[in-house]
Amino acid sequence: MINMKILQNRDSFLKTQVLIIGGGVTGTGLARDLGLRGISSILVEKQDINAGASGGNHGLLHSGARYAASDSEAAAECREEGELLKKLAPQCIEDTGGLFVAVKGDNENYTADFPGMCEKSGIKADFIDIAEVLEMEPLLSPDIIAAYQVSDASIDPFMLSLDNISHARDLGAVLMRYTKLESFNIENKKIKTALVRNTVTGQETIIEPEQVVSAAGAWAGIVAGLAGIKLDLVCSMGTLLVTQSRLAKKVINRLRKASDADILVPGGTVSILGTTSVRIDDPDKCRPTIPETDYIIEQGAAMIPALETTQYIRAYSGVRPLTGSSSGDDRNVSRGFALIDHAKDRVENLTTISGGKLTTFRLMAEKTADLICRKMGISKTCTTRTVPLPGSKEGRWTAPGLAPRMWMTGHKSDDIILCECEMVSKGIIDNIIKSCRQQGEVPTLKTVGIRSRIGKGPCQGGFCSARIAAHMYDREEFSGKKGLNELREFLNERWRGKHPVLWGLPLEQAELQEALHCGFFGLEL
């Protein structure tokens, strides 16, 4: 067992059975899987939970139908894992169901072959009458020519990762946020130690692991490079847009060969439209652009014309690591996952788990933990297939609609609302601060943002961020210029996503907000 006090000392030295790099859904799922097998782990994440693709995706729990034509193995994995997650982690899932719809001009052969292709991967796709589908989803285009019903759902990726890491910690795992893997010391074909650095304080820690797993997503190539290994990995950026209101009850997919802006996923009070697939060299340089936003809207409007006139709250991007390069369309690169034992590269205790889907994270963690057990000579089997994922205090407030529901069903008279768009109260912020402190962590505005709905509504933090910063000064979490610096950082991050979707009235409102921030707080954003 690792003493948390050690983590606060400068230049600490830690030992663990498994060092995991990356706090996305794969890394957090792996820490839980290992914990359930009684294996200790330290997870280092250079930012906060879900800083990579796990926080920049569609939130679609795939039925597998999307991959039925291109990759029947990935399609079957999605089907099986989607069904399991609905049973094991229901708190993270809204079981919306899904539709695949073709519009005039779409390939009719593809449409006719679709149910047969789904069947090959065991996926149920039921034909549905056009009149019925238009009644079900009135905003669909009247130009729909065919529709099928599938078992897609929407999933909250933040709750999923926070619940996984919370359970892993209960089982003895250690999470080191804002801690970046800097280098490996390799001796006799093994990583003997890893040097990690806290990106806020600069504190260095040496970790001596028996095994190292890179679950670093699109950064897996960089991590492998630190061990002198070249990975064949393509970084593909996808951009998504969040609508101000929910436009559909079900997930709506375009019934055609996977292409851009094909999917609208409802989640709580909003819908998410996307995505694109653009190759980039540096995963740290992913951000949505105005031309991309316009293109997504134009493509999506063929399925749902209202997408051309609706208001958007923000845009965001994520990067997929696709293993196995391709010279053409990156959508042709497999969306399955790659588990690489780097013993073949003469680094015996390094493993990379990369690619795959949010939907298949549990399976990816299972296969990785199985390999780690084999390498360590441990005969413990996986239990995540049957043990439900417990809900956690950390993940609870990410659910859209929960804060207003709790508020309406009863609140203390002095519990005022700090974020009006999402109705997040002072009491909820205090809960999050308390739970961070209990975990030995320093709460920041960003930490509160990841663990709640603040900054996610139409004002994008324009008003609530200042109120919450002020509340954190009252609670003595901030002093001096700390709160102002955090406010600037928080608003700048929201601005990245807001500016590509601004026109008309929201643009005027954004200009007013900027003037308020500059005038009242002296912030130059």
For ligand FAD, the binding residues (CB under 6 A) are 21-27, 44-47, 51-54, 56-60, 62, 180-181, 215-219, 223, 238, 240, 275, 318-320, 356-359
The span from the CA of 348 to the CA of 521, in Å, is 54
| Closest C-alpha among 66, 96, 85, 95 to residue 25 | 85
Query: Is 193 or 359 the residue whose CB approaches ligand FAD more closely?
Result: 359
The span from the CA of 302 to the CA of 79, in Å, is 27
Query: Is 45 or 477 the residue whose CB approaches ligand FAD more closely?
Result: 45
Residues with Cβ within 8 Å of residue 483, at least 6 apart in sequence: 445, 469, 470, 472, 473
Q: How far is the CB of 287 from ligand FAD (least distance, A)?
A: 12
Query: Is 57 or 384 the residue whose CB approaches ligand FAD more closely?
Result: 57
- Residue 59's identity, in one-letter code, is G
Query: Is 33 or 45 the residue whose CB approaches ligand FAD more closely?
Result: 45
What are the residues facing 270 on neighbouring strands? Answer: 267
Q: How far is the CB of 341 from ligand FAD (least distance, A)?
A: 17
Report yes or no: 270 and 311 within 8 Å, Cβ to Cβ.
no
Q: How far is the CB of 18 from ligand FAD (least distance, A)?
A: 14
Helix (H, G, I), strand (E, B) or coil at 197: strand
Query: Is 297 or 319 the residue whose CB approaches ligand FAD more closely?
Result: 319
Residues with Cβ within 8 Å of residue 281, at least 6 apart in sequence: 235
Q: How far is the CB of 240 from ligand FAD (least distance, A)?
A: 6
Q: How far is the CB of 244 from ligand FAD (least distance, A)?
A: 20
In the structure encoding, which two tokens stand for residue 416, read together?
């005022």
Q: What angle do CA 494, 498, 504 make, to 5 degrees?
A: 145
Query: Is 248 or 429 the residue whose CB approaches ligand FAD more closely?
Result: 248
In the structure encoding, which two tokens stand for residue 131, read together?
């009149």
Query: Is 235 or 382 the residue whose CB approaches ligand FAD more closely?
Result: 235
CA 45 vs CA 15, 21, 25, 48, 448: distances in Å? 17, 6, 12, 6, 17
Q: How far is the CB of 345 from ligand FAD (least distance, A)?
A: 18
Query: Is 418 or 450 the residue whose CB approaches ligand FAD more closely?
Result: 450
Alpha-carbon torsion (123, 126, 130, 136), positive or negative: negative
How would DSSP label each residue in 12-42? EEEEEEEEEE--SHHHHHHHHHHHHTT--EE
Query: Is 49 or 171 the residue whose CB approaches ligand FAD more closely?
Result: 49
CA 281 vs CA 17, 284, 285, 424: distances in Å? 33, 9, 8, 38
Q: How far is the CB of 185 from ligand FAD (least distance, A)?
A: 15
The DSSP call for residue 358 is: S
The beta strand positions in 81-225, using DSSP E, are 93-94, 98-103, 126-127, 144-150, 153-155, 174-176, 179-187, 190-198, 204-214
Report yes or no: 258 and 238 within 8 Å, Cβ to Cβ.
no
Q: How far is the CB of 263 from ligand FAD (least distance, A)?
A: 7
| Closest C-alpha among 410, 457, 452 to residue 431 | 452
Q: How far is the CB of 5 from ligand FAD (least distance, A)?
A: 22
CB atoms inside a 10 Å sphere around CB 244: 18
Q: How far is the CB of 272 from ligand FAD (least distance, A)?
A: 8
In the structure encoding, which two tokens stand for residue 518, read together?
């500059």
Query: Is 191 or 223 the residue whose CB approaches ligand FAD more closely?
Result: 223
Q: How far is the CB of 489 from ligand FAD (least distance, A)?
A: 16
Query: Is 119 or 182 the residue whose CB approaches ligand FAD more closely?
Result: 182
